């Protein structure tokens, strides 16, 4: 297993960069979509991502049980892109799940994977301190999860303005 972690801000080009990594492997492509369409605007974003990827990807929608879904589709000869971890965290928070346990389960599963893995997430810790508890909790959960995934990943990239900065590997 080789894992790559791609971080960046909104509309930074991180998803396209991650998709290019997977495409370059030449392996069977799987995409785990963690987003939920809470409104029409989010549905439009999801639809655009699907259209941009095209038909050569197998899409798995998994808003909550990420480690279990990864284990279910894992296999040699496959590349799996998870987009994105911050949307997954949002879903866990909205569903009242134990985020520390879910994050630990994902990080614990990572070294067992046989597929080529690529994770995408939004870096949310570079801005001002949020003005409400839920937003601060979200930022803190994301920061802790990012540290766990970065520690297990062979490569870590930070994307800004479509440009990758290799941070590890």
Q: What is the DSSP string of the chain?
A: -EEEEEEE-TTSSHHHHHHHHHHHHTSEEEEEE-----SHHHHHHHHHHHHHH-TTEEEEE-SS-HHHHHHHH--TTEEEEEE-HHHHHHHHHHTT--HHHHHHHHHHHGGG--SEEEEEEE--SSSPPPSSHHHHHHHHHHHHHHHHHHHH-SEEEEEETTEEEEEE-
Indicate if 60 belongs to the active site.
no
The residue from 49, 60, 141, 146 that is catalytic is: 49
Known binding residues for GTP: 8-15, 33-35, 50-53, 61, 83
Known catalytic residues are 49
């Amino acid at each position: 297993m080789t894992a790559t972690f791609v971080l960046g801000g909104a509309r930074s080009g991180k998803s396209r960069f991650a998709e290019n990594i997977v495409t370059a492997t030449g392996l069977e492509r799987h995409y785990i979509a963690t987003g939920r369409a809470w409104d029409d605007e989010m549905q439009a974003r999801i639809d655009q991502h699907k259209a941009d990827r095209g038909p050569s990807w197998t899409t798995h929608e998994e808003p909550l049980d990420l480690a279990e879904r990864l284990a279910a589709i894992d296999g040699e000869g496959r590349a799996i892109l998870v987009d994105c971890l911050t949307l997954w965290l949002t879903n866990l928070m909205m569903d009242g799940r134990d985020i520390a346990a879910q994050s630990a389960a994902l990080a614990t599963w990572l070294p067992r994977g046989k597929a080529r893995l690529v994770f995408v997430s939004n870096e949310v810790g570079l801005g001002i301190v949020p003005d409400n508890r839920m937003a601060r909790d979200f930022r803190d959960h994301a920061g802790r999860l990012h540290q766990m995934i970065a520690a297990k990943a062979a490569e870590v990239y930070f994307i800004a303005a479509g440009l990758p900065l290799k941070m590890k590997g």
